[in-house]
Structure 1
């Protein structure tokens, strides 16, 4: 019983350690030279955002003569509604991709207006 109580106390102490910080915060607190020596199991939020922002994909494209609607950041979309949605997402700092292909396996490929 005493051994289990010690283990429980040690576990509770461990769980309290840096409990207000998530792994990204702990990683970001390290000097950049130390960060280069660490191979995180998962991407940090910043790395994920950077990867998504730089990800290349091919949307549906636009037929010749199709009306041109541009969001404030210069992306071409299909309608005024999509233009407004795109601007709201950007102004709210919501990471998004326009008409990024989504493969639904046997149901085929779809192109959602926005992936957030």
Structure 2
């Protein structure tokens, strides 16, 4: 389950930033996750609760902001929404799409004290 390692990386980032940003407790974390990021949201939620036990983020809420997959179609020049990699352009049927958004995961916001 790679969601567990993602949560460990999130916690590591939170712990590294605590002294720099001067916080001692994380109350909520907002993650921005692209539809093409390959992250199973429910597994991430489960893993997050396990990973943060005993840490500065124990009991923190986890909010997920989903970003749709977007791609640029080379033949027709349009920006289109895609559900998965290798989708076809809904306008011209081409598979020559360059993904432009929706493949990332990042910490968007924190509530700290």
TM-score (ref. length: structure 2): 0.22
Query: Considering only CA atoms, is the larger Rg found in Structure 1 or Structure 2?
Result: 1
Structure with more relative contact order (C-alpha pairs < 8 Å, separation 6 or more): 2
TM-score (ref. length: structure 1): 0.22
Greater percentage in helix: 1
